[in-house]
Amino acid sequence: MSNENVPADTAPPAPANVLVIFGAGGDLTKRKLIPALFHLSAANMLPANFAMVGIDRLELDSESYREQIDNEIEQFVGEDFSRELWNNLLQRIYYVQGDFKNPESYAALNEMLQQVDREQQTPGNYLFYLSTPPSFFGEISMQLANAGLTAESGDHWRRIIIEKPFGHDLASAQALNQQLHQAMHEHQIYRIDHYLGKETVQNILAFRFANGIIEPVWNARYIDHVQITVVEALGVENRASYYEEAGALRDMISNHLLAVLSVVAMEPPNSFDADLIRDEQSKVLRAVQPIDPDAVATDAVRGQYGAGTLPDGRSVPAYREEPGVAQDSGIDTFAALKLQIDSWRWAGVPFYLRTGKRMASRYTEVVVEFKHAPTVMFRDSLLRQSNVPPCRLVIRIQPNEGIGLSLNAKIPGATPRLGTVDMNFNYADYFHSMPSTGYETLIYDCMIGDATLFKRADNIELGWKILGPVLDAWSASPGGEFPNYQAGTWGPGEADDLLERDGRAWHTCGVS
Ligand code: BG6
């Protein structure tokens, strides 16, 4: 059943601006950012006065850069591609060759921006997107400030989007925040966590706060525990140099899983104002208890994949055999944690988080398991049942986006029995979605100055604070037992023990 009455999204075009992409020759730019601009332009969400300026080390000029991206765009946009629309966008794309460390590059960029402002009648609103290795984040922002490119005035704005990873621990994140704050104000800084840009993550807020029946039961009185799972069948791909420094805990839990946790667990804000929402997210992160160093061995599990077979039949090598990975690497490709939130709403409700690469499948889901109903009435009645399964709400973030609720019902027939039934809502059955790389909303929101889906300095630092004891314990004793799970499985046995000890089990992904 599709909801034909849903009106089309009529978001107005963003104000006139220039998007400057540092790292214009990189993978993210060609696979996600430029296709996202195409989608925004197809949805009439780009302003008539818009331009993109790419900057990178490659020896190209605007003409040859256009040729390069023109050759690749179709495969990354896919079936929604339109030559006419693309040509219109392409002529508004410019390129500056430059080294991010050299002040002359910023002088050249400044000159180009003035030329673009004249040609495209853009009024000096610049959005700088740092799609570069993290070691450049501080440097580029300082250089932009020194070149006078970050100063705002009444008639133009300047903003910066920072990709992840934002630091590798609390100290490095604080140092980076300090550096950024020397170059510009917090309101100009947009720190990306692309999970916050996912429709289904944003829907958690709508689901919780727009339905009068949900919020009253969303607390420790009714909820037994929460599971957040983000697993992938992908391996480390060609990112070994980054991943060998990061690992699963830093790559996924420090940002994406804690972002999902904060949306699930936050208190209702008074409005959708960006700062009020982020205040509530920070409050809940502040209430998460960092795992006690003595408890890391039991409440945190790490894993690394060995060789194995994926469900599609492909045999894949062990992490330590991947190109660029050390043969004795102690990096985690799987991590699971048990966290407690010390607040009135959540005291006593464990949050179990897990993430891993080369797992049996790709799933992102939140499982909210409710407390068991008292079974005494069933013991004395004909519906005899020693263990009535608890109701469970499964929020499927990807794939098969939707929400499922499992309930108990009487199985028809002469013998009184209880069975589990599912109530299911699939996004695709109700709503048509706009083609998306996931970056459209984030770029558009930044252009209109809405920071709701971006992380504030304190959100980031609180995330690192929570993980500090685990990072310390793991770096003090690099994983010697690796590999401890086979590619194509559900991770190490210790992750199952983490829940079994509490009399619980991981939900089978993909089932309501
Ligand atoms: C990125 C991580 O932030 O998220 C990757 O660096 C991971 O390792 C990716 O593969 C997962 O994103 P998504 O949107 O495909 O779930």
Which of 194, 230, 260, 361 is the best mutation target for the ligand 1 pocket, counting ligand atoms within 8 Å of the beta carbon and taking the most?
194
Give the model's confidence band at 5: pLDDT under 50 very low, under 70 low, under 90 confident, else very high.
low
CA of 509 to the centre of ligand 1 (A): 18
Catalytic residue among 194, 256, 372, 507: 256
Give nearest CA residue, ligand 1 atom 15.
232
CA of 384 to the centre of ligand 1 (A): 46
CA of 444 to the centre of ligand 1 (A): 21
And the tokens for 403?
């929400």
pLDDT of residue 383 exceeding 70: no
Q: What local confidence, expressed as pLDDT, does residue 3 receive?
A: 53
Q: What local confidence, expressed as pLDDT, does residue 427 receive?
A: 87
Give nearest CA residue, ligand 1 atom 13.
195
Asked whether the beta carbons of 179 and 138 are under 8 A apart, the reply is yes
pTM value is 0.92
CA of 380 to the centre of ligand 1 (A): 51
Give nearest CA residue, ligand 1 atom 5.
251
Give nearest CA residue, ligand 1 atom 2.
251
CA of 85 to the centre of ligand 1 (A): 29
| Ligand 1 atom showing the smallest separation from residue 164 Cα | 3
A 10 A CB-CB count for 217 gives: 14
Q: What local confidence, expressed as pLDDT, does residue 224 receive?
A: 98
Which of 251, 254, 258, 397 is the best mutation target for the ligand 1 pocket, counting ligand atoms within 8 Å of the beta carbon and taking the most?
251
Say how far apart CA 130 and CA 20 lie, in whole Å: 9
Among residues 290, 246, 346, the alpha carbon closest in space to that of 464 is found at: 290
Q: What local confidence, expressed as pLDDT, does residue 335 receive?
A: 98
| Ligand 1 atom showing the smallest separation from residue 242 Cα | 6
Which of 168, 252, 453 is the best mutation target for the ligand 1 pocket, counting ligand atoms within 8 Å of the beta carbon and taking the most?
252
| Ligand 1 atom showing the smallest separation from residue 195 Cα | 14
| Ligand 1 atom showing the smallest separation from residue 234 Cα | 10
Give the model's confidence band at 151: pLDDT under 50 very low, under 70 low, under 90 confident, else very high.
very high
Give the model's confidence band at 120: pLDDT under 50 very low, under 70 low, under 90 confident, else very high.
very high
Say how far apart CA 184 and CA 141 lie, in whole Å: 8
Which of 256, 396, 509 is the best mutation target for the ligand 1 pocket, counting ligand atoms within 8 Å of the beta carbon and taking the most?
256
Name all residues whose Cβ lies below 6 A of ligand 1: 164, 194, 232, 234, 251, 364
Give nearest CA residue, ligand 1 atom 6.
251
As a whole number of angstroms, the longest Cα–Cα distance in the chain is 85
Of 84-93, 332-341, 407-416, least confident by mean pLDDT is 407-416
| Ligand 1 atom showing the smallest separation from residue 398 Cα | 16
State mean pLDDT over 373-393: 71
pLDDT, one tens digit per residue, over 461-508 is 999 999 999 999 999 987 778 999 999 999 999 999 999 999 999 999
Rg (C-alpha) for the chain, rounded Å, is 25
| Ligand 1 atom showing the smallest separation from residue 251 Cα | 6
Residue 324 Ramachandran class (φ > 0 left, ψ -120 to 50 alpha, else beta): left
CA of 364 to the centre of ligand 1 (A): 11
pLDDT, one tens digit per residue, over 413-445 is 887 778 889 999 998 888 876 667 778 989 999
Where in 131-186 does DSSP place strands (E)? 158-162
And the tokens for 476?
């003090």
State mean pLDDT over 137-156: 95
Tokens 């013998």 belong to residue? 415
Give nearest CA residue, ligand 1 atom 9.
252
CA of 56 to the centre of ligand 1 (A): 24
Say how far apart CA 259 and CA 399 lie, in whole Å: 18
CA of 372 to the centre of ligand 1 (A): 35
- Cα torsion through 101, 93, 73, 437, rounded to 10: 70
Q: What local confidence, expressed as pLDDT, does residue 116 receive?
A: 97
| Ligand 1 atom showing the smallest separation from residue 364 Cα | 16
pLDDT, one tens digit per residue, over 295-320 is 999 999 999 999 999 988 999 999 99
Asked whether the beta carbons of 304 and 334 are under 8 A apart, the reply is yes
Give nearest CA residue, ligand 1 atom 8.
251
Share of the chain above pLDDT 90, in %: 79
Q: Would residue 256 show up in a list of annotated catalytic residues for this protein?
A: yes
And the tokens for 214?
């949900």
Helix axes 62-77, 34-42, angle to 10 degrees: 70
CA of 289 to the centre of ligand 1 (A): 26
